[in-house]
Amino acid sequence: MKSISLHIEKTFDFIKEGAIEGFKAQIKAANDALENGTGKGNDFLGWLHLPSSISKSEIDELNATAKVLRDNCEVVVVAGIGGSYLGARAVIEALNNSFSWLQEKKEGNPVIVFAGNNISEDYISELTEYLAGKKFGVINISKSGTTTETALAFRLLKKQCEDQRGKEMARKVLVAITDAKKGAARITADKEGYKSFIIPDNVGGRFSVLTPVGLLPIAVAGFDIAQLIKGAADMEKELSKDENNIAYIYAATRNALYQSGKKTEILVNFHPKLHFIAEWWKQLFGESEGKENKGIFPAAVDFTTDLHSMGQWIQEGERSIYETVISIETPNRELHVPSDKENLDGLNFLAGKRIDEVNKMAELGTQLAHVDGGVPNIKISVPQLNEYYIGQLFYFFEKTCGISGYVLGVNPFNQPGVEAYKKNMFALQIKSVV
Q: Is the dihedral of CA 79, 83, 87, 89 positive or negative?
A: positive
Q: Is 144 in the site for ligand PA5 (CB under 6 A)?
A: yes
Which position among 46, 205, 222, 298 is part of the footprint of ligand PA5 (CB under 6 A)? 205
Cα–Cα dist 263/266, whole Å: 10
Which position among 39, 46, 51, 83 is part of the footprint of ligand PA5 (CB under 6 A)? 83
Per the residue annotation, which of 238, 287, 387, 398 is the catalytic one? 287
**Does 28 participate in catalysis according to the annotation?**
no
Q: Which secondary-structure segment (H or E) carries 264?
A: strand 264-269
Q: Region of 346 please: left (phi>0), alpha (psi -120 to 50) or beta.
A: left
Per the residue annotation, which of 56, 191, 241, 308 is the catalytic one? 308
Q: Is 143 in the site for ligand PA5 (CB under 6 A)?
A: yes
The mark string for 106-125 relative to ligand PA5 (x by CB under 6 A, - otherwise) is --------------------
Count Cα neighbours of 127 within 13 Å in the Cβ-side half-sphere: 28
Report the Cα–Cα distance between both ends of the chain, in Å, rounded.
63
Which position among 238, 287, 323, 356 is part of the footprint of ligand PA5 (CB under 6 A)? 287
Contact 300, 325 (CB under 8 A): no
Measured from the CB atom, is 84 or 377 closer to ligand PA5?
84
Cβ-in-10-Å burial (0-12, 13-18, 19+) of 168 comes to exposed
Cα–Cα dist 270/275, whole Å: 9
Q: Is 220 in the site for ligand PA5 (CB under 6 A)?
A: no
Q: Is 150 in the site for ligand PA5 (CB under 6 A)?
A: yes
**Does 265 participate in catalysis according to the annotation?**
no
Measured from the CB atom, is 128 or 414 closer to ligand PA5?
414
Q: Is 46 in the site for ligand PA5 (CB under 6 A)?
A: no
Q: Is 404 in the site for ligand PA5 (CB under 6 A)?
A: no
**Does 275 participate in catalysis according to the annotation?**
no
- DSSP category for residue 322: E
Measured from the CB atom, is 222 or 298 closer to ligand PA5?
298
- DSSP category for residue 354: B
Q: Is 81 in the site for ligand PA5 (CB under 6 A)?
A: yes
Cα–Cα dist 268/277, whole Å: 10
Positions marked catalytic: 287, 308, 422
Binding positions for ligand PA5, rule: CB under 6 A: 81-84, 142-144, 147, 150, 204-206, 287, 415
